[in-house]
Amino acid sequence: MHDTPAKSKERALRIGIAGPVGTGKSSVIAALCRGLSTEFSLGVITNDIYTDEDARFLRSEGVLPGERIRAVETGACPHTAIRDDVTMNLIAIEDLERDFAPLDIVLVESGGDNLTATFSPALVDAQMFVLDVAGGGDVARKGGPGIARADLLVVNKIDLAEHVDVDVDQMVADAENARDGGPVLALSRKRPETVGHLCDWVRQLHRAYIGGTHTAIDPGPMAPHSHPHPHTTDH
Ligand SMILES: Nc1nc2c(ncn2[C@@H]2O[C@H](COP(=O)(O)OP(=O)(O)OP(=O)(O)O)[C@@H](O)[C@H]2O)c(=O)[nH]1
Ligand SMILES: [Mg+2]
């Protein structure tokens, strides 16, 4: 299990960003790097199944010096590397922390996965779960560990809502319901005030982390599932 909340800046705050494929996890990381890199020393770890595409995207955006963005190639099960065996990610984070000491915040992007993938609290101190309006207004109601219990739920791409007939206020209200009132943030990279709220959430989390008042919670494991190939297993 995770050690007790840090009482000092011994190591960087680690934030995981999970969510289904294409909801905007890399874009959230890019926005955070743009918004926070003058205040904080940042590093990024991406997880892709077979490529380093997310890392290359983020480097090409020029949001951080390229060497602060590292890719972990997870193989077949992206969720395994953030939940069941986090060794590859821990090594990547520790390397980054050693190379750029002292880092304030490390952002870890999960490989895009199904609705229930979550980070282990042994890997990250806090996690956000990213949905988008294009996935449909109903998704927030469906629940699951990430939606229900991540530290922050992001409803992304709200600029597209009118095109996909989604009522953002309703989707946010449904999400708050599914989370017993836990924080939900409506986001669009095209609406700077929403990006400001996202950055403020991270600032507040970092203050709590440094102050020793933040406790890592485990949203719980993903739903049982199986893979036809290359293996069949329940995690
Ligand atoms: N309209 C709109 N498009 C967005 C927004 N954020 C991201 N996108 C687009 O959504 C697509 C997916 O964004 P990514 O950030 O790559 O999503 P991801 O979750 O990292 O994707 P994977 O890592 O492949 O799972 C891209 O075409 C982005 O340009 C947004 O706020 N509004
Ligand atoms: Mg991505």
Residue 233: per-residue pLDDT? 43
pLDDT digits (tens, 9 = 90+) for 145-167: 999 999 999 999 999 999 999 99
pLDDT digits (tens, 9 = 90+) for 91-130: 999 999 999 999 999 999 998 777 878 999 999 999 999 9
Give the residues of the chain that fall short of pLDDT 70: 1-9, 225-235
Contact at 8 Å (CB) between 224 and 175? no
Contact at 8 Å (CB) between 233 and 227? yes
- Please indicate whether residue 26, judged by its CB atom, sits closer than 6 Å to ligand 1: yes
Q: Which ligand 1 atom is at minimum distance from the Cα of 188?
A: 31
- Testing ligand 1's pocket by substitution, the residue of 27, 133, 190 carrying the most ligand atoms inside 8 A of its CB is 27
CA distance 26 to 29: 5
- The residues near 197 (Cβ < 8 Å, ≥ 6 apart) are 185, 187
Any idea where the domains of the chain sit in the sequence?
13-211
Q: What percent of the chain has pLDDT over 90?
A: 77
The residue assigned the tokens 């017993």 is: 180
Residue 5: per-residue pLDDT? 37
Residue 228: per-residue pLDDT? 56
Q: Cite the beta strand spans of 19-121 per DSSP E.
A: 42-48, 69-73, 105-109
Q: Which ligand 1 atom is at minimum distance from the Cα of 21?
A: 25
Where does 13-211 sit in CATH, by number?
3.40.50.300
